[in-house]
Amino acid sequence: MTALPDLARLKPTGGKRSSKREQIVNVFLGQEGHLSADDLVDLIRREDHRISRATVYRTLQWMVDAGIARKVDFGEGRFRFEHSYRQPRHFHLICKSCHRSFEFLSSDIEAFIEEVAAARSFSASQSVVQIYGTCDECRTGRASMASSEGHTDLVFARDALRIAIATERSGLDFYTRAAKVTKDARGRKVFQDLALEEKEHLGKLEARYNELLRRDPQLESRPTFLFFKGAANGLFAEGAERLMRGVNDQQALMIGIRCERGSHRFFKKYGERFEDSEGKQIFLEFANEERDHLDLLIREYRALVKRQGRTRRGPRTPAATAARASAR
């Protein structure tokens, strides 16, 4: 069940405190999925028949204005409403046969919307993506695990952990390889320590994932909500492949810096976009860890350049100057 908001804090301009409004909001947030106004009226009337239909309608609009609810159109000739308080922005697949909807979030769609808006110098405040078609159940007649009840906090957390685990595994592979190819003893020790830290973090993430599965035995088979194509194989996978093509110690550190910087930006960017949830917490915790690793690698890169400079004085080439600037 969604945690209840502070209605006074979320109150839009001109809003007044109302016990009836609070009752309607509490009932709305206690439901899952997408409710029509009439659905909510029926639920409210079961608790208090004195609350009028007009009051429910006004409260629904108030919730939209306050950021508690989001209005969606599934092509049925009427609007439905879903939670937007403490819920990540997401998109919908909508079946034209049964009118059920299936939620998802895609970093590729997000990035494309940002790219188009930036190219037109357009300041986007919200985006709505609705894909109409036929669901698997209507097309084949087979029962499906997909649900029109929307994603849950557990599904969101599950997908966030999957992405974090994939990144941790690719990071472990990268640092293990980097330690093997690095000749400088101090740099090799840094990579070995980071590999051990990645292994420890990976164990914690996998234990956290297994705990989610204990909370919901069906969780593993539920449809994916978060689609992050670029992170599916881990954000360090490309860097690990680059190591195998042959690099020197400075280059190994630079590849690590680029991977950690990209990983930090990725988890921070999307973590800050999510509303309060376990998935948001997972992303921001991971972003902080990647920031610490990035700082460590930058310090080691500078120290390596300094050590090498003492033993091998020579003119600065444009490539060396660019590498130093990139590490700052």
- The tens digit of pLDDT for each residue in 74-117 reads 767 778 887 775 555 678 888 888 878 787 888 778 878 888 99
Least Cα distance to 92 among 11, 138, 149, 166 occurs for: 149
What average pLDDT does this structure show over 3-30?
66
In angstroms, the CA 328 to CA 323 distance is 9
Q: What is the pLDDT of residue 236?
A: 92
- Among residues 97, 42, 93, 41, the alpha carbon closest in space to that of 72 is found at 93
**In the chain, ranges of CATH 1.20.1260.10 domains:** 153-327
Mean pLDDT, residues 233-241: 86
Residue 152 has pLDDT above 50, yes or no: yes
The helix/strand/coil state of 209 is helix
Q: What pLDDT, on a 0 to 100 scale, did the predictor assign at position 320?
A: 54
Domain with CATH 1.10.10.10 in the chain: 12-85
- Which band of pLDDT confidence, cut at 50, 70 and 90, is reported for residue 229? confident
Residue ranges, CATH 3.30.1490.190, the chain: 87-150
Sign of CA dihedral 228, 229, 230, 232: positive
CATH number of 87-150: 3.30.1490.190
Above pLDDT 70, what percent of the chain?
82
Inter-CA distances, 13 with 9, 30, 61, 145, 319, Å: 11, 25, 13, 42, 57
Q: What is the mean pLDDT of residues 158-175?
A: 93
Q: Tell me if 42 sits within 8 A of 28, measured CB to CB.
A: no
CATH code of the region 153-327: 1.20.1260.10
Average pLDDT, the chain: 82
What pLDDT does residue 269 have? 87
pLDDT of 216 > 50? The answer is yes
Instruction: Look at 14-18, 219-223, 255-259, 310-314 and tell me which has the smallest mean pLDDT.
Output: 14-18
> Do residues 16 and 34 make contact, with C-beta atoms less than 8 angstroms apart?
no
Q: What is the pLDDT, as a whole number, of residue 126?
A: 67
Max Cα distance, the chain (Å): 87
**CATH class (in words) of the domain with range 12-85:** mainly alpha
Residue 190 has pLDDT above 90, yes or no: yes
Is residue 231 within 8 A of residue 167, CB to CB? The reply is yes
The predicted pLDDT at position 319 comes to: 54
How big is the CA angle at 248 (ends 247 and 252), to the nearest 5 degrees? 70
